Chains A and B, each alone.
Chain A
């Protein structure tokens, strides 16, 4: 039944199921002092990683890009056709107070075709709907996103946070940046991705970043534990609809950090848990108990397989590797800015002389946090 629903949902999306070797490219930066950086900077960094992608997916997330609507959820939605848009807008009208809805600006560029309808809406849940459902606004929004993604034909919400936005397409990362006119946005955090799809189709919804509310993820590798993670997330109401393993990382972060209240570094211990042998040799009982408890309680949230990912959220940015470092990740700092990327050259392209460049140890997060307000 579920498969059937998926067939219907994806009836018209063009899907390329060729299998090719993997090597996605990642890059991210955060000005921890909140200084605004133009979107063209992350595009320039991604340009250097072009060999890592194959033109079947590129994307970005920027934080601090909608200051004039910062109290509203900014929903970026792709529609296959006007019918889906009509159905979706009816569903949204019933649940949301929409401050404004507009087409996401883009320019036509060579290499990007079959453009869906791309719209964004700044909205808040209707108070009476919140009361009726007895839900917090964030939970209400997650539920609405899941409802749209699972029930409205050819329609996908690909960004739903506040004062942030995801921009993604089938194309190489640099052309996607040009397509969305990213030079017209400024933000304090940017993450970018160039895709080389391997096990799942190269389609618009499958490009990175993957987002829910505040959390956006770009990823290189494979989440071999996808099935376990997906079933675990379903118990909490998250529905994986985008046909790509990375989707679970965004939902796991929302669950662990927003819902369960885990601190970020503890959430990273859940996603890339130390091996039992390393826990046994910690030599610190409290730490040992903590790490054992996390593995036991959150065994189904452990990410297995090779991965490097960069997560953006409103208060910071995180880079994390799998526990045996099967994908590249490099970090650098310059003054208040933290950079994380698949390759040092992508950092050096936008920061010629960093104060420090290093390779983060496997399974240990690199975290940049916003200082003060923006």
Chain B
């Protein structure tokens, strides 16, 4: 795999790379080279399982991925705009700081771990431990929107940011799994539909949407629709409920004797 040459073609500010069979180190090296040369749009064809794509890149480059990227897509990135025209694996947007990742398919576990800014849009289902340890600071508010359903530990230990779950798609499993928002002490989760009390972490409660929430959800839905090209006009903010921590210091007394 490491020996295959990356075929590339660069015209003006746009470039195309054939990633089929290319080791991730070489592929990511070429992507960085192109960015250094002033490339603003890179299309990666034939991607399958290459890890760490666009990791740590602090530029507003647009990267289109055709194929299934490997784990840790967009980790630590601060600025790129990534479009995946397929499914994605685990750990997408790990600790990402700014930029946007749009996945036109499903994504795996630990999506947006420790995310601190930017947006992550997934049209399909997302896995376990999505949005855990997310945090926000002033204007840095990370957002994840998923069109499908989520597994257990959605928003676990969340300290800030916004999670939106639309619950679309086939099947009758609940919109999210157990341990929802366990240990959550900041941010908000918006879910279309209901969850049972037994699914909730002990730090969160269900709230109705306020006017401000409705505006926020409507705005995100519009953006999600524009980015994914899927018609979500039937979805109304009124169908959502909101999950929030009812104390922002749930463990404040834990070590006080």
Binding site for B on A (CB under 8 A): 47-51, 277, 281, 324-325, 328, 330, 343-346, 348-349, 357-359, 361-362
Indicate whether B127 reaches chain A with its CB closer than 8 angstroms: yes
Indicate whether B68 reaches chain A with its CB closer than 8 angstroms: yes
* From A324, A343, A358, A362, contact of B70 by CB (8 A): A343
Indicate whether B228 reaches chain A with its CB closer than 8 angstroms: no
Indicate whether B71 reaches chain A with its CB closer than 8 angstroms: yes
Give the complex CA separation of A328 and B111 in angstroms.
Answer: 13
* From B24, B49, B177, contact of A349 by CB (8 A): B49
Indicate whether B233 reaches chain A with its CB closer than 8 angstroms: no
Give the complex CA separation of A334 and B87 in angstroms.
Answer: 17
Indicate whether B198 reaches chain A with its CB closer than 8 angstroms: yes
Given contacts A343-B90, A359-B125, A361-B173, 18 further A-B contacts (CB under 8 A): A47-B1, A50-B1, A51-B24, A51-B51, A51-B70, A277-B198, A325-B128, A325-B152, A330-B108, A343-B49, A343-B71, A343-B89, A344-B89, A345-B89, A357-B87, A359-B106, A359-B108, A362-B128
Residues of A within 8 A of B128 (CB): 324-325, 362
Residues of B within 8 A of A348 (CB): 48-49, 67-68
Residue of B nearest to A50 (CB): B1
Give the complex CA separation of A281 and B198 in angstroms.
Answer: 9
Contacts A48-B48, A345-B49: A362 and B151 contacting too (C-beta < 8 A)? yes
Residues of A within 8 A of B127 (CB): 325, 359
Give the complex CA separation of A279 and B210 in angstroms.
Answer: 37
Q: Does B48 contact A359, Cβ atoms closer than 8 Å?
A: no
* From A50, A328, A346, contact of B90 by CB (8 A): A328
For chain B, which range describes its interface: under 10, 10 to 19, 20 to 34, or 35 or more residues?
20 to 34
Q: Classify the interface of chain A: helix, strand, loop or mixed.
A: mixed
CB distance from B48 to the nearest CB of A (A): 5
Residues of B within 8 A of A328 (CB): 89-90, 108-109
* From B1, B48, B151, contact of A325 by CB (8 A): B151
Give the complex CA separation of A324 and B153 in angstroms.
Answer: 9
CB distance from A20 to the nearest CB of B (A): 17
Q: Does A345 contact B108, Cβ atoms closer than 8 Å?
A: no
CB distance from B88 to the nearest CB of A (A): 8
Residue of A nearest to B52 (CB): A51
Residues of B within 8 A of A330 (CB): 108
Q: Does A359 contact B87, Cβ atoms closer than 8 Å?
A: no
Give the complex CA separation of A47 and B67 in angstroms.
Answer: 17
Give the complex CA separation of A330 and B125 in angstroms.
Answer: 13
- Can you identify 9 A-B contacts, CB atoms within 8 angstroms? A324-B153, A325-B127, A325-B129, A325-B152, A330-B108, A345-B49, A345-B70, A348-B48, A357-B106
Residues of B within 8 A of A346 (CB): 49
Residues of A within 8 A of B198 (CB): 277, 281
Residue of B nearest to A346 (CB): B49
Give the complex CA separation of A49 and B198 in angstroms.
Answer: 37
